[in-house]
Structure 1
Amino acid sequence: MNRHFTKISLFFLSLLFLVSCNAVKRVPGDKQLLTDNEIFLNREKINDAKIYNQLDQKPNTTLLGLPLKLYFYNLARPNIDSILSEKFLENESKRKKLNYILSHKQFEKFLNSRKRFNQWLKDGGEAPVLANKKDAKKSVNRLNSWYWNNGWFNVETDYEIVQLENRRKRAKVKYNVSTGEPYHLDSITTQISSKVIDSLYREYEQNSIINEGQQYNTIAINNERDRLTSLFRNNGVYNFDQEYISFEADTINTNKKVNTKIIIKNRFASDQDTTNRVPFKVHKISKVNIFTDYKYANRNEPISDSVTTDEGYSIYSFEELRYKPEAITDAIFIKPGNIYSDLSRSRTYSRLNSLRIFKYPNIQFTPDPSDSTQTNLQANIFLSPQPKYSLGFDFDLSQSNIQKFGIGFGGSLLIRNVFNGAENFEISGRGSVGAATDAAASKNTNHFFDISEIGADLKLTFPRIFLPFNTEKLIPKFMSPFTSLSVGISTQTNIGLDKRNLSGILNYRWTPSKKLSNRLDLLNIQYVRNLNTDNYFNVYRNSYNELNEILQSGSIVTQPSYLDKDGLLSIPTGAENFIEDVTEETGGTTGLNEDQTQLVKNIRERKNRLTENNLIFASNYTYLWNTKKNLYDREFTRFRFKIEAAGNILQAASALGGMEKNRAGNYEILGVNFSQYIKTELDFIKHWDLGHKNIFAVRAFGGIAIPYGNANSIPFVRSFFAGGPNDNRAWRAYDLGPGSSGGRNEFNEANLKLALNAEYRYNLFGSLNSAIFIDVGNIWNVLDIVEEEAATFTSFSDLKDIAVGSGFGLRYDFNFFVLRFDIGFKTYDPALPEENRWFRDYNFGHAVYNVGINYPF
């Protein structure tokens, strides 16, 4: 290990020596490279990132202290045209040689390619940042502005460019900030012209963002302006705008106090050729007209169908009305008789878009011509239907935890408004072929594409909570509730033992806000049938090899009929008979010691669990909090909580129905021992934007599934695994754990998982990014059928078996997806003896190479 560290250290020191001499290569002779900024606040140095972010000029971005993008830029030649001219055009002998080899057109392309490559180096790199007075003065102004906006009205800032000793052509800039005492808000008074506005202000004054005694802050002032604008517009003041609000601050002879006056003037109104100020009014919605099939081409056509609802909505159609009135009005939050509200309008937009049956709606408000007081508004909502039928086709390349390479394809048919109640019906089919990992495929196949899957799904979605009782008070319509009923079937070949999945789901989802979403699967039913259980020992070769090692230990006597021509247990008959002899003590096989007998029993228990068919009758709830605003949001928080319970209904029904139990003491439904367990997962992700396309991201995950009642283990499809490109990247998928057992099986899984990942992502140049990461975690068995000490979690002392992986990777951003290549090194391997777990195989020969699509978290 010491030799490895010595080599690594020597490599980085040599690299540092070579490139550090080159950092100022493109710095002009009378200029200096900016290497650092220092800010002294009232003579004390500070490290507050938000203050340093105010500086107009920052040093070149670095990784581990090295400005790699600057070095990349320095590889480019600043005068490439003259260099190429001197080297290839003015040098007659070289030009003749090239002209002899290349045509005139090829020669021009050759020169242009050199220019393009040189420009690529410049574009991908980063020009040297020079310390200069002009940019330093801009930083001074920005620092003064920031402190002034935060209440230090007497702030003064100067700067000094300091030449670094013993470092050629390098300098840092020191900023000295003197703030004085901050100013605080004192009296807050108002000058409001409209009685309506004044009344609303007084009613909600307790919610004010600015209050007496707090330090002056410009952002708080702006936020108060936003609050007041939103308050007035959501309480009927349709014509209100931010421009009518102003703040007047008095700081003369106030002993660093700010006397603030909030001024809200009347609105401008035009009357023929004159413009006057008139008081604001509260506007009420008198009519809501909904046009369900509006097109620009039929704007002047007569209405052919209409209906007026009990709530006062008027629904119109240029053709025959194709929607039940309540299906439309349930998505409209602008109600006749209510006052105008921006919130109701935005909720209407959101809900109509979520239905997926209309294009982006158009909502217009106009004065009601029948109202002489000019306070009533008429809302016109223009809806343009999407096509009744939509076809979709998919084709993708993928890499997952159990396949090295996969090709997927599929198609779907979407039928909108299938029952005239804004319901959507989807029919989809999918198929894929892939190349499995070594453990996944049968040993009998020699084809590259040894995985195949085909499946179909039906899904019906209702834009409401479909229950026999009213849920409006619990889940209001503005939360965009949906009910989905789906069924599906799929068949997999050469994935493990080959499986057929039948599933049925009844779920509800609703979104109280843009950040929060909820999902409740009232019924989540899954039937998993293994189609090729005779292939078990071809797939799980480690178990098969362990049986043969026991058989060939020298003292074992078994039936010759169990063996093949090579003297190994035949598959499947010989291996199964051998296990039965040992575990049932039939006498057909003798000579095993106690440890060997226990090992065979462990192999039998695992085989029985992985080859049994599963019936999962579950309910689950998922809570998701996600502050990510869009695909390009670099700083966000995501928290997911999920809890699932399975088998309780079937257990109660079996007991009440007086059903008989099988030999193992469990109930069976349709010949299948149904699963019963409770499972919970916690998943937390946080991204910090560090600037310059640098991001620090962390993820923490914890999950546990506890069997009880009718089951003593968790179905394979509901268990946890560790390793792989989206988990601990120093181990292949399913290779890590459980505990310190060393991953003896091809698919290692368990019912308890802890994981923590941290990753620093940075831009190299252009669309090429890189990252360094640390992955921590493992899986264990707990409170289930597994009794092996190394694989079970019995106390907190077992946390010493948490694996640690570290590494680095490259990522290329194609905008619509990211291609990722990561190299993971086993940093702490719990499968090794405790004294030899750190950095034992920390080299490229034992590294794990991961290819993935998009970021791991």
Structure 2
Amino acid sequence: MKRIFAKISLIIVFIIVFYACDSTRRVPNGKSLLTKTELKVDEKVINDENLTNLLIQKPNPKVLTIPFSLHIYNLGRPNPDSVFASKFIYDTLKFKRTAKLLSKKQVYRLGESFWHKGIHTFLKSTGDEPVIYDEIKTKKTINRLKSHYFNEGYFNVKATYTTDSVGPKKLKSTFLIQLGEPYKIDSITTAIASPALDSLYMLTKSSSLIKKGNNYNSSVFDEERSRLTAYFRNNGVYNFQQNFITYDIDTIDTGKKANVKILINDFTYRDGDTIRTKPFQIHRISEVNIYTINPNQRNISSITDSLTYNNYNLYSSGKFKYKPKSITNAVFISKGGTYADYKNNLTTRSLSNYKVFTYPSIQYKINEKDSIHNSLVATIFLNPRPKYSFGASFDVTHSNIQDFGIAGHLTFSIRNLFNRAETLEISGRGNIGSSRDLANPDNRFFNISEFGGDVRINFPRFLFPFASDKIIPKSMFPSTQLSVGFAKQQNIGLDKENLTGAFTYNWIPKRNNTVKFDLFNIQYVKNINIGNYFNVYRSSYSALNSISRDYAVNSNYYNENQNLIINSGTDGFLNDVLGDNPTIFPTISDLREIRSIQERKERLTENNLILASSYSFTKTTKTNILDYNFYLFRIKIESAGNLLSLLARASNQPLNESQNRTIFDIEFSQYLKTEFEYIKHFELKRQNVIATRVFLGVAVPYGNSNNIPFSRSYFAGGINDNRAWRPYSLGPGRSGSQNDFNDANLKISLNAEYRFNVTQKIKGALFVDAGNIWNFLDNIKNEDAKFKDLSSLKDIAVGSGFGIRYDFGFVIARFDVGFKTFNPAVNSEQRWFRDYNFSNSVFNFGINYPF
């Protein structure tokens, strides 16, 4: 399959590069394809994308000097309708023959088919049409360049252009800029008519962006205008707008110096047909009205219930359904307070986080009862969402566990559960699937299933025994979530039952910063079908079966094929080697491996009880989905088992066979876990990005545990990790992934990816992934799997490869091919590039970017 795909890929590349290599095939006669543009400023070539983006016309983008997007466009026919008509419609003989096989109506529809029209539309929409040189656009570019540099203080800038032929129907354009000497800011004065504004300006004057001695730059003046506007509006000047700030720039006979005067006139407004002016004033809030009402019913006659709470007036159509405090706690606009834009933003975000209202509307008007007109009435309109809502989804799935699956998900929500804006969500999920796994020998098509349910309730505040506003103020949007869930598997692995519960606090200390604190997170995993272990973990069975053949083993342990019987044979052999009265004495190396198999079997078949607390902090500078230059930082600390240990000791709970304490006869886990992740994206040009990621995680068992539960361990490999290895198939260390599902308690992952545009919709990527997992301070005896010291870093595996992504707009489909570049599990002389070929590559299909 891999070889076939590799051949298909090479054929596609061959077709695009060679069949469509004539880049000018869609260029009309008498026209020229723009193949290169160059910007020279004072005879120096400029490649700064902020400047080259000023060029109205730029050549078709290239990858490794090849304009793939143009070639893809050229593959599409410019007039598929005409070609189809001449071939099938106007050729009456062929039309009649085709109509006999189909029908006349279907022949006409054939012209709209994908093969005759759709594929050409797809190619042209995916590729980029040729950029035909246009002299008018070139002259507009000259004006744009002169305007840009004029705004940067080069008032005497000169700009010209030249064109050169670089081949048949191909042309290069060069823009030549001579800047001259820039003007610099000299004196800065102000003329502010309103005394209130003048006083505010003096308080922020030292923070001005306009500095004496700097080059004149109009963008700085615009930024200063925005800064002052935000400052005034956040300090009570309700009716202030940017257009009230103007600048008087004097450059006449100043010796290339600019004397700046900041002008702010009085407030101008229309009173009927008359334009009036008055000084700006600082406004205060005299009244706050809150309406929980449908927007279509905003009239006095629809108000049937009202009340006043803590200086807020609340109105409703019908009985007021909310505790007043729950609403007013989310409002940052207060009676007697100064008007401020940031209070509007906080109020809007806080009320939106409630999830019981649609996006709120806040309106202001001058209080007519105020004779000096410097007080405002604030009105907040809240449109309640439906109290009950129902959602359903349906998916067809495929995974490494099931060949085919059908999954369904149902959700029922109740809003404003206790009349304090709480949200209750009850969800159920189910999945049935088909698996050919040896662990599930069943002749039925749907032979595996999984179902579960979750109940979550969200409180838009902290549930705390005492007031926490001074610790976490409401401006940080605190919330509390309680959740409980249950899931059960049948014919999947060991048929686990999974019971979970959590009590979680969330808050946002700063914009783009989030904190999550799990006061407790409990998980109980029960293995129902322990006897299925060696059917599931075939690597362990094969190793045990192979070792047994070297010794005198009870013949009753084997089947007719001389393989150990599961479970009587495998358990009997393990008991004969490791039991209290052993009868088989293997070599030291075999004994070590048998003991390792037994320890892993005990670990993966034991029931797990985990009671943990954790703290997670995330910070990002990403502002929107189009931000290609940002970083994300995440740290998490988790501690498990301490409370259960205290309870077990206080209640004198008995010890089990492993001499560990239990709760309700279940051995509980105790460990300390910490994770660090840093993602950084560097934007180059034309949305080309270098994306990097660093991840470090370690979980150390102690006290009641000598290993980490499988559900809290780390694995390596997969579509979002080291893509040259499949999930769970890398590590630990240099042990060579001896198990079916390899895990460990220490992980290092380093990733770097160069993402570039092939066309507007097709993206390419080159990547390098490095990392591994190790066992660290646990009970694993395999020296090849352990992290001993810094010398163990030589066991970091390296994978590299390439990827192709298609941008659908709302989602990105991703296909990556990973090659094992450095494999620490093989002999030292064979580690580098030994399996660097398609036959040993790993194909990864995913949705959106890996990091």
TM-score range, shorter chain: over 0.9
What letter is aligned with 1:135?
K
More displaced stretch, 167-176 vs 608-617:
167-176
Aligned twin of 2:213: 213
CA 1:747–1:232: 2 relative to 1, 3 Å: same
**Matched residues in 2 for 1:99 and 1:357: separation?**
60
Counterparts of 1:647-686 in structure 2, within 5 Å, are 647-686=641-680
**Matched residues in 2 for 1:258 and 1:368: separation?**
44
Secondary structure class of the residue paired with 1:839: strand
Match 1:574 to one of 553, 569, 572: 569
CA deviation profile, 1:592-617 (whole Å, cap 9, x unmatched): 11111111111111111111111111
**Cα distance, 1:301 vs structure 2:** 1.9
CA deviation profile, 1:717-775 (whole Å, cap 9, x unmatched): 00111112222222221111112211111101111112233344455567555544333
Native 8 Å contact 1:425 1:461 kept in 2: yes
CA deviation profile, 1:556-611 (whole Å, cap 9, x unmatched): 12333333333322212321232233234623223x11111111111111111111
Counterparts of 1:176-187 in structure 2, within 5 Å, are 176-187=176-187
Aligned twin of 2:254: 254
What letter is aligned with 2:529?
N
Aligned twin of 2:161: 159
**Matched residues in 2 for 1:264 and 1:552: separation?**
95
Aligned twin of 2:530: 533
Native 8 Å contact 2:190 2:261 kept in 1: yes
Counterparts of 1:11-26 in structure 2, within 5 Å, are 18=18, 21-26=21-26
CA deviation profile, 1:245-276 (whole Å, cap 9, x unmatched): 11222223333332221111111133343212
CA deviation profile, 1:355-392 (whole Å, cap 9, x unmatched): 11122222221222221111111112222222222222
Question: Is residue 2:236 matched to residue 1:236?
Answer: yes
**Percent same amino acid at aligned positions?**
47
Counterparts of 1:129-140 in structure 2, within 5 Å, are 129-140=131-142
Secondary structure class of the residue paired with 1:790: helix
**Matched residues in 1 for 2:180 and 2:733: separation?**
59
CA 1:14–1:270: 2 relative to 1, 3 Å: closer
Q: Calculate the TM-score normalised by the size of structure 2.
A: 0.92
**Matched residues in 1 for 2:500 and 2:12: separation?**
55
Counterparts of 1:535-684 in structure 2, within 5 Å, are 535-553=532-550, 556-584=551-579, 586-590=581-585, 592-630=586-624, 636-684=630-678
More displaced stretch, 279-288 vs 818-827:
818-827
Match 2:693 to one of 696, 699, 714: 699
CA 1:494–1:380: 2 relative to 1, 3 Å: same
CA 1:474–1:375: 2 relative to 1, 3 Å: same
CA 1:576–1:226: 2 relative to 1, 3 Å: same
CA 1:112–1:612: 2 relative to 1, 3 Å: closer
What letter is aligned with 1:777?
G
CA 1:244–1:404: 2 relative to 1, 3 Å: farther
More displaced stretch, 325-334 vs 396-405:
396-405
Output the aligned Cα RMSD.
Answer: 3.1
Counterparts of 1:18-37 in structure 2, within 5 Å, are 18=18, 21-37=21-37
**Matched residues in 2 for 1:632 and 1:397: separation?**
31
Match 1:488 to one of 469, 485, 493: 485
Aligned twin of 1:42: 42
**Cα distance, 1:691 vs structure 2:** 6.3
Aligned twin of 1:845: 839
Secondary structure class of the residue paired with 1:148: helix
CA 1:21–1:795: 2 relative to 1, 3 Å: same
**Cα distance, 1:652 vs structure 2:** 3.5
**Matched residues in 2 for 1:727 and 1:11: separation?**
29
Native 8 Å contact 2:21 2:71 kept in 1: no
**Matched residues in 2 for 1:246 and 1:549: separation?**
87
Aligned twin of 2:508: 511
Native 8 Å contact 2:716 2:731 kept in 1: yes
**Matched residues in 1 for 2:841 and 2:524: separation?**
38
Aligned twin of 2:270: 270
More displaced stretch, 619-628 vs 540-549:
619-628
Question: Is residue 2:796 matched to residue 1:802?
Answer: yes
CA 1:529–1:79: 2 relative to 1, 3 Å: closer
**Matched residues in 2 for 1:334 and 1:33: separation?**
60
CA 1:154–1:445: 2 relative to 1, 3 Å: farther
**Matched residues in 2 for 1:138 and 1:203: separation?**
44
**Matched residues in 2 for 1:561 and 1:116: separation?**
66
Secondary structure class of the residue paired with 2:34: strand
**Cα distance, 1:332 vs structure 2:** 0.9
What letter is aligned with 2:472?
I
Secondary structure class of the residue paired with 1:253: coil
CA deviation profile, 1:658-702 (whole Å, cap 9, x unmatched): 555445342222222211111122223344556666554333322
CA deviation profile, 1:187-222 (whole Å, cap 9, x unmatched): 221111101111111112222222223333322221
Question: Is residue 2:224 matched to residue 1:224?
Answer: yes
What letter is aligned with 2:572?
N
**Cα distance, 1:631 vs structure 2:** 5.2
Native 8 Å contact 1:368 1:377 kept in 2: yes
Secondary structure class of the residue paired with 1:25: coil
Aligned twin of 1:337: 336
**Cα distance, 1:12 vs structure 2:** 11
Aligned twin of 2:4: none
What letter is aligned with 1:784?
D
More displaced stretch, 97-106 vs 466-475:
97-106
Q: Calculate the TM-score normalised by the size of structure 1.
A: 0.92
More displaced stretch, 833-842 vs 394-403:
394-403
Native 8 Å contact 1:401 1:733 kept in 2: no
Native 8 Å contact 1:75 1:121 kept in 2: yes
CA 1:108–1:294: 2 relative to 1, 3 Å: closer
**Matched residues in 2 for 1:319 and 1:91: separation?**
73
**Cα distance, 1:804 vs structure 2:** 2.5
Secondary structure class of the residue paired with 1:804: strand
Unaligned 5+ residue runs, structure 2?
Answer: 1-6
Native 8 Å contact 1:305 1:320 kept in 2: yes
Native 8 Å contact 2:292 2:316 kept in 1: yes
Match 2:517 to one of 517, 520, 526: 520
Native 8 Å contact 1:131 1:161 kept in 2: no
**Matched residues in 2 for 1:771 and 1:191: separation?**
56
CA 1:487–1:105: 2 relative to 1, 3 Å: closer
Unaligned 5+ residue runs, structure 1?
Answer: 1-6
More displaced stretch, 10-19 vs 810-819:
10-19
Native 8 Å contact 1:763 1:770 kept in 2: yes
Aligned twin of 1:4: none
Native 8 Å contact 1:38 1:173 kept in 2: yes
